[in-house]
Amino acid sequence: MEAELRKEFSQNNFTIEDSETAQQCLSLCSSYDMTASDFVASWEVFYLNMQLDNGLVQSSQLEKFRQVLQNEQREAFRRKHSDIHFYTKDDVDMLMNNHDNDQDEITHGTPQTVPKTKRVSTPGQFRDASMDIDNQYVAPKTPASHGKTSTGASGQRPESSPLTPFSQRTNKCVVQFVFNKHLSEDASDVISTEASEDDFMRRLKPIQRLQVKIINGGPHAGCRYMYDRLESKFNELEKRIRRFVFAVSEHEQKNISHHVALASQEEVMVAGKVCCDGEGHLNSKSVLLEGSVEDSGGQRVRLDLHNISQYSLFPGQVLVVEGHNPSGHCLVASRLIDSIPLPLYFASHDHESPPAKRQASDQTAHLVADRSSTGLSILVAAGPFTTSDNLSFEPLGELLSHCRKKRPNLLLLLGPFVDSEHPQIKQGLVDKLFSHIFQEEIRMRIEEYCEEMGEGARVMFVPSSRDAHHNYVFPQPPFETNLFEDPGKQITLLANPGSFQIDKVTVCCCSMDILRHLSSEELSHGQPGASTDRLARLASHIVGQRSFYPLFPAAPGVPLDLSIAPEAMNLPCTPDILILPSDLAPFVKVLSSLATNTSESSGIKSDGKLEVDQVSMDFGHVGTICVNPGRLAKGVMGGTFVEMLIPTASEDLPVAQANKNLLARTKVVVTRI
């Protein structure tokens, strides 16, 4: 057999390092019941995927190769017994292990050591002699366990798995920042169960199911794109200007239909969008205001800003400018209006329904509130969900393990899921279809999580233009429904961008990194010596401009297509919570564009240090909590995610008062995975 193995390797241009390596290969052939030709064929695939060179079969590489063979055996076993659920020690340890309680999981700067767990044998388990299954598995757990090379179903690393930088991290579950930190004790009392219940009973208690209402659907699945015409872009930009002018006219009670390039000695109010006089970035000398075709024939005029003490501009921003234009070539601005937030969702929609329908809606909302009397818990994470050195999706496994202990009402996941920027995908080193990677690594894990947590647990998917298995277009349709098997209706597929309402809390989210795009194009000027919150200012443009992507032209690489569902780019209302994942530092802000006073805010600097800016806030003003959860995986290490705890509000509060209380009673925790 050894001679046959050496001959097969030689015919495929491989050389075995020494006799000891040959004996190890022979042992693997015997353990996995493989012929010499099958063994060498599997080695060749492994050789190419790992980018090995010189054609030498070394002893140091056989351990990783053994892991690949073991995973292939698990996959074959899972397909053969797909109708049987095999329980592992993790099912029992998740409930019985007292070391995994909430106090041990969330620390304040001190990393916790995960204790080793004992192997638990379950009734009816068996071991196939032809399979070398390590102590992480009694048998393949469910379809979700297939395809994992370095993580198990609960995110713990098998003893024999190769060490990765992610598995060796020392800052696991370290809390980076807590928004409304003074609510720590009260919020935990509301969200968690009574102190008399032990940890085992708390985890067995079913999650209360909440009603999720999709506000704007966005492009439908399977829509046609790449038919974007100049006419579509022109019409959408014109509509944006007209909508903004109408809102400002109602607010100011003034006519704003003047020509931007018409000479006038009197003070006038004109509207248009910001453009750059050149191909570079905006500066104070290159700002142009392009009027609408309806009022100004699309003409442009230079904008003089020397009388404006504070401003923040970017290309595509819609402005109403008050000033003088004595020559017709230069508009000397004395006032800029760049932010007109929309009303809240209930305030803007309740009057549209007849009284009988509103009463029925109120009764339904009351029933939902009764079911969620303990409050609302949302966990938010944004991709990538795997580190750049492998496709094992270790961070996702850790996240789901955390969710099994925290049991949130809603798990909101924003793409990319199969990241087209991942080195192995970008270089074409994977031997699977992108859709298969999503199904095996994402879908199966999520379906297993939903089945384990019960019908009350909800999971929501928001795609990204970086998803290699999905449509490369923005705005983006939701994932195809046939990608999931969801008998319990627990999985909701949202478009990108998307908006929904849960327990009277309106949430808007967009996986496109608009914050980073705005940061590279923004022209900002402030009063000397005055401190400004740049991240909050960038996020406030989204709400103030009433658009998920107000930048135009779009940043390089953004597949903006305004011919499909252009209304999907518009905010349907002022959200209570705005989720904008970004490569910028994770933060929690209350947007200053919605209140006269800057609110409590926080951010994490690029060097990892916490940046806190606390200013006394007048909660009498309506505000939006903006959250950047960061990326769940950053390079070969883990990133951050966000937990939001929102106690249920009183039913008899008016809309503005309820929103005010939302800011005061919402606890947001930024945690490292």
Structural domains of the chain in order of their starting residue, each with its CATH number: 2-57 (no CATH), 83-168 (no CATH), 175-227+342-522+533-672 (3.60.21.60), 254-337 (2.40.50.430)
pLDDT of 218 reads: 81
pLDDT of 660 reads: 66
Q: What is the DSSP letter of 339?
A: -
Which residues 6+ apart lie within 8 Å of 168 measured at CB? Answer: none
Q: What is the DSSP letter of 446?
A: H
Rg (CA), the chain: 28
pLDDT of 91 reads: 53
Give 291's strand partners: 272
Task: Please report, for residues 70, 143, 223, 371, 567, the alpha-carbon distance to residue 32 in angstroms, rounded to integers and kept in the order given.
Answer: 8, 21, 46, 52, 56
Which is it for strands 318-325 and 264-276: parallel, antiparallel or unpaired? antiparallel
Which burial class, exposed, middle or buried, applies to 387 when counting CB atoms under 10 A from its CB (0-12, 13-18, 19+)? buried
Which is it for strands 505-509 and 577-579: parallel, antiparallel or unpaired? parallel
Whether the Cβ atoms of residue 624 and residue 594 lie closer than 8 Å to each other: yes
H-assigned helices in 179-224: 184-191, 199-204
Alpha-carbon distance of 63 to 60, in angstroms, equals 7
Per-run averaged pLDDT (10 residues), the chain, 673 residues: 84 84 87 86 81 80 86 76 57 51 43 40 37 36 40 42 80 90 57 47 73 85 84 89 92 86 88 90 91 90 92 94 90 92 66 44 38 74 94 95 93 96 92 93 93 90 95 93 79 93 91 94 82 87 94 93 88 93 93 44 41 34 84 93 84 60 88 94
Q: What is the DSSP letter of 653?
A: S
Where does residue 226 fall: left (phi above 0), alpha (psi -120 to 50 degrees), or beta otherwise? left
Which is it for strands 491-493 and 264-276: parallel, antiparallel or unpaired? unpaired
pLDDT of 220 reads: 84
Q: Give the DSSP H/E element, type plus range, for residue 159.
A: none
Whether the Cβ atoms of residue 638 and residue 629 lie closer than 8 Å to each other: no
